[in-house]
Amino acid sequence: MKSIRTILLLLAMSVSLTACGKESVPNNESPPPGMSSTKPEQKTIPSENSNILIAYFSVPEDVDTTGADAVAGASVVVSEGEKLGNTQYVAQLIQQTTGGDLFRIETTQVYPGDHDPLVEQAAKEQDADARPELATQIDNFDQYEIVLLGYPNWWGDMPQPLYTFLEEYDFGAKTMIPFITHGGSGASRTVETISELQPGALIRDNALILSRNDVAASAGEVTDWAEGLHLNRKNEEKRR
């Protein structure tokens, strides 16, 4: 198993990190510079009447975006002057279309904004099968019937905080719709992993899978995809 994972990891690394133009291979055991242990405030989302939750994890990289709408090959989009992670940007577009409640999955240990320490930290967490502690909580989880779950592909898998999230909440019979951004590997096996972790949930098979190179210009595609889910129609029918 271990050797298969190592081969997959190496394949994912060569696809994604070559595409990024970053070749760093994590091998340093010391804590990465820029890794902070500052605890962000506990955050909960306001309780609204929506039955749609858009939960996402995203780490905008700390790159110079002066005068740019998007930085090719980096995990960042500039939208109306604000620097957003790719998945964060997509989550906001989905929220605008579906009107669901937006929830950012955050960890108590803040990830480094610089690329090399970030990939190093992510690799170490994956090797350790870590469950990073979450700093954000959903108090009113029961009210949601549909969960759109967004995350970047990290080393051919979900970021480890997604494992914490999926193990912390019981999705029961909720409908889950993943949306993934990536640097060339697509969704890898992540959708299958979600259904293994949440066997009771209905995982819709029309996940949105977006290359980071397309994220900045993806508003039309994301909106069409979100409208095509007919989530609002379902809600309107329920309210009648």
Q: Which residues bind ligand FMN (CB under 6 A)?
A: 12, 15-16, 58-60, 75, 85-88, 118-119, 122, 152-156, 181-185, 212
Closest distance of CB 197 from ligand FMN, Å: 19
Q: Which residue has the tokens 């992510």?
A: 122
* Token output for 232: 């609002």
Q: How far is CA 77 from CA 10, 70, 106, 211, in A?
A: 27, 5, 19, 13
Q: 16 or 235, CB closer to ligand FMN?
A: 16
Q: Nearest 10 degrees: CA dihedral of 81, 86, 87, 93?
A: 50
Q: 51 or 58, CB closer to ligand FMN?
A: 58
Find the helix or strand (DSSP H, E) in which 195 lies: helix 190-197
Closest distance of CB 69 from ligand FMN, Å: 15
Closest distance of CB 51 from ligand FMN, Å: 25
Query: What is the number of other CB atoms lying within 10 angstroms of the CB of residue 34?
Result: 15
**Pairing relationship of beta strands 146-152 and 101-104 according to DSSP bridges:** unpaired
Closest distance of CB 154 from ligand FMN, Å: 4
Q: 99 or 113, CB closer to ligand FMN?
A: 113
